[in-house]
Structure 1
């Protein structure tokens, strides 16, 4: 009688991509993300707002609130993703577990900066996340139920790559507009992403999860879809803060 145990990652775990092919694909993916960043700046309202000199206080605070909520809500789905990853690739699961361990409590870094901006923990907890954040969380659940964990991991690669590329510039601007003493949590978060090479760490998990050309095509598609949902959030943030204030009578 054959062993009935399955979904424990004991099959052929030879990576689909060699080290050379993996590096080549990652460079291709990074080019796609660079293009997506250009599209982001061109199409998303106030995409570079936090990089400017005159930062809207409501926009800044609400973005911190939403960032903390996204970390809190998505870490539930990302923890569930670990189970699915472990069923197929223990190597990817080990990398993903370490990455999640490093990121799991970073909501507190943003909540600390909120306090410095005059928003209490109670006020944060009383603020319901935007619909776009709920939809992103729902998309993660859909992926895990119907397509697998690759799309969830793709989100982390997108945000880690973009954060390492763009966050230093934004933080330098915020030091001038908000004050360096008031953005310590955001600085610490960025230092973790950069110093622990989170893009490289997530890519290591991606490599083990890519098992075919279809997976590669899906990964590229996930990156585009995640950006569309994130764009919805930033449009919602803009309409709720800057645009709302502009409509108020002088």
Structure 2
């Protein structure tokens, strides 16, 4: 007889992520086709790459802050996060190599402020860490890796079909690194570690839904500032 702990399993968390992403696909223009590898727009894709680079840098800072807040309270969790952080540093250069093919320079990316939805996400991350410790960081990092595993190959293949394989070398290399280092599995270990009670499980699920809501806001803003603006 199975023992019910009240703490969600990985399968349950993945089910929530899929359900929330499906809601997102129904509310934001072109996003469903983009994630399925069925549609792409040059300016939309360029700005998405740029925001990915910006967000990686900001997220590394958030992870570093979370690591500082963990301190010596959970050495194993700190070790897992440190491993992930070390492996993530420099990944922005992979996407930058693709973006440069579109004529966007490193300096241009550096001087571009993050979209407002990204500012909201990063600000919420800091607030959440101060409020609930490492949990939000672990849920977010796992979701990012799960999202990449689910959708980024579709997006990269469509970009390769439209613009050429030279334009996705960095993106494909990033996918290869994530798969080789099993970042989805690594980060889910951290989610499991921060869910000690049924209450923690409910909180983790709530964070997951809120993060996907913020991602929905990002894709709406991305659409509005590229395709919508051009239209």
The alignment's TM-score, normalised by the length of structure 1, stands at 0.85
Say whether residues 1:43 and 2:27 are aligned partners: yes
What is the match of residue 90 of structure 1? 75
What is the match of residue 226 of structure 2? 241
Structure 2 gaps, min length 5: none
Structure 1 residues 51 and 29: alpha-carbon distance in aligned structure 2, compared to 1, 3 A threshold = closer
Secondary structure of the corresponding residue to residue 164 of structure 2: helix
Given the alignment, which residue of 134, 147, 157 partners 1:149?
134
Deviations 1:168-187 (A, max 9, x none): 22222221012111111111
Contact residue 35 and residue 155 of structure 2 kept, 8 A: yes
CA distance in 2, matches of 1:151, 1:83: 15
Say whether residues 1:183 and 2:206 are aligned partners: no
What is the match of residue 30 of structure 1? 14
Deviation, 1:99, is: 0.8
Deviations 1:129-157 (A, max 9, x none): 11111111101110122221101111111
What is the match of residue 5 of structure 1? none
What is the match of residue 108 of structure 1? 93
What is the number of residues matched between the two proteins?
A: 227
Secondary structure of the corresponding residue to residue 29 of structure 2: coil
The alignment's TM-score, normalised by the length of structure 2, stands at 0.91
Structure 1 gaps, min length 5: 1-19
Given the alignment, which residue of 187, 193, 213 partners 1:208?
193
Question: Considering only aligned residues, what root-mean-square deviation do their CA atoms show, in Å?
Answer: 2.0
Structure 1 residues 171 and 137: alpha-carbon distance in aligned structure 2, compared to 1, 3 A threshold = same
| Superposition misfits of 4+ residues, deviation over 2 angstroms | 20-24, 48-55, 83-88
When Rg is computed on C-alpha atoms for both structures, the one with the higher figure is 1
